């Protein structure tokens, strides 16, 4: 059982380049999330999707877009990468009721 799978694991971009981070879960979860993790700041919510077809902004959505392609997949896009977006990005999912979140292994993104 793979759980939550993120790709790629590492990426280096130049300022202004675009890229999409992929996330897929195989647990039939309704809700999916994208977080960024910066030193001393814990996990900050970028966007989330409560169910297929819906997306909402979190704490730090500027500079990002998301797509909930289907129930399994939730992608995060950086249209024009900036050095301030250098971070580790985590995708997570959760089922109905009060279940905990399941996290992917993270994507380490560096923007030069």
Partner 1 sequence: ILNVEQSPQSLHVQEGDSTNFTCSFPSSNFYALHWYRWETAKSPEALFVMTLNGDEKKKGRISATLNTKEGYSYLYIKGSQPEDSATYLCAPRGYNFNKFYFGSGTKLNVKP
Point out which residues bind partner 1 (CB under 8 A): 31, 33, 35, 40-45, 48, 50, 56, 58-59, 90, 98-106
- How far is Cα 9 from Cα 52, in angstroms, rounded to an integer? 25
Nearest one of 29, 20, 33 to 71, comparing CA atoms? 29
């Amino acid at each position: 059982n793979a759980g939550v799978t993120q790709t790629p694991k590492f990426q280096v971009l130049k300022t202004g380049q675009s890229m999409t981070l992929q996330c897929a879960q195989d647990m039939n979860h309704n809700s999916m999330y994208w977080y960024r993790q910066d030193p001393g700041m814990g996990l900050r919510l970028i966007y989330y999707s409560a169910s297929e077809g819906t997306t909402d902004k979190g704490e730090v959505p500027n500079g990002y877009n998301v797509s909930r392609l289907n129930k399994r997949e939730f992608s995060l896009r950086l249209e024009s990468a900036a050095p301030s977006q250098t971070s580790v990005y985590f995708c997570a999912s959760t089922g109905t009721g009060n279940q905990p979140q399941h996290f992917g292994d993270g994507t380490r993104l560096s923007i030069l």
